[in-house]
Structure 1
């Protein structure tokens, strides 16, 4: 039996990100650390080292932090469709999280129609969340809403977020890892998938829960964990199964979800800064 791969610290991070502890078990057999929390593919010692790979976050008073403050003006989109999209993007709980890239791919991803892909997303969520834990706890960076005194798009999560470091962004790491994986599985849709991966991270800026540099470092760690996952034979096996399954699902039902036009319009709304 494979030993438990991560400390309790990891499970707490997953619960904060996605309310994962309340997620029901999938019908397709997915190894779990405990009910609702999928076991990742990588053991703790196999994960990329976020402390070694990332520089410290920008210091207050630095030019980099001034850029963070400028991009944080994205929080001024509250009350707009883009704000509502950021609220939806904050939910990493399954089954809802499986639909994040449905419009980009052009078909739904769910446990019934695509169980192998659904399980792949569950397991890689764990790897992409845990990969950032070391830097989060090393730097314990204060989140934007604690600095500017304005609410977030998920006020019910603020108490937990205040105790969880801002740097790097775990949501962004997960979303970007998924974007890279899905772009490999459906290369003809890679532009749309990667664009959605980028906008997913930007939702954390709109939400007022992360700084610009948190999001950039989250993308970096998402890339690092996907690169390492490709050396894992079980991951590669599951990718092959998911690729075939997704192709069948797209051929059988290539109709995008009904709300894709509204989502596209919301994501097209520019952030209120041209800083990047």
Structure 2
């Protein structure tokens, strides 16, 4: 496995450089204008999401906000029906860390250009990440970097394990919605974040190292699934993490 340097503490250098990252200013329209129907939808969804405070869905959104590894590695484990860890799936683990950087950076040209205020700054209702609000207030809301990362992960994982694609894509959609639940992103931020996540994955497929890591990660997951099938085990219902997966499913079923 290739040794990859850190871009900054805790975050690996991505596969793409500044010349190959998607240009978010060219790919997404400006954020909704004040008084528009799209802006009204943003406000409506932000208001309805307030009803989820204190519920298991709110707690899951808090968990989804954490992009630090190793904690973030488990976000898609239930949907993948397999553990994701540095010990059991090292190539997948590194691939997720590197694509996090690529998808996150893909949003910054638009973020820095528009500097859109986040929902908690407008509605004064706080967020699920109170310790990060000062930093978030200086970081443009549009598009959502978290959503770009989560959707890129969902698309890559669906390619790695196509038999789990529906579950993985559904979890990717919910991951973006967690940013609405958290009151840190508007609905339109999340929608455009998915666009940039998809654009990043499209660019990644032209990168030879990504292609090699993708193939290696696919082999890792296939081996885990085969071993579990042979042993009659299932990650979601067996001894690995049944309570967490059941709790995740229950939380995701809660709607405002």
1:1-276 map, 5 Å:
29-72=3-46, 73-253=48-228, 254-256=234-236, 257-258=241-242, 259-270=244-255, 272=256
- Cα deviation code 1:58-86 (max 9, x no counterpart): 01111110010011121221001110110
Q: Which one is further off, 248-257 or 122-131?
A: 248-257
CA shift in 2, pair 1:147/1:35, >3 Å: closer
Q: Distance in 1 between matches of 2:213 and 2:245?
A: 28
Note the aligned Cα RMSD (angstroms): 1.3
- Which structure 1 segments of 5+ residues have no match? 1-26
Instruction: Give 1:252 shift.
Output: 2.6
After the TM superposition, list the runs of 4 or more consecutive aligned residues in structure 1 that deviate by more than 6 angstroms. none
- Which structure 2 segments of 5+ residues have no match? 229-233
Whether the 8 Å contact between 1:127 and 1:225 is mirrored in structure 2 is yes
Q: Distance in 1 between matches of 2:82 and 2:154?
A: 15
Whether the 8 Å contact between 1:28 and 1:116 is mirrored in structure 2 is no
SS across alignment from 1:262? helix
Whether the 8 Å contact between 2:112 and 2:140 is mirrored in structure 1 is yes
Whether the 8 Å contact between 1:75 and 1:205 is mirrored in structure 2 is no
CA shift in 2, pair 1:168/1:52, >3 Å: same
CA shift in 2, pair 1:101/1:154, >3 Å: same
Whether the 8 Å contact between 2:78 and 2:235 is mirrored in structure 1 is no
How many matched pairs? Answer: 245
Whether the 8 Å contact between 1:153 and 1:208 is mirrored in structure 2 is yes
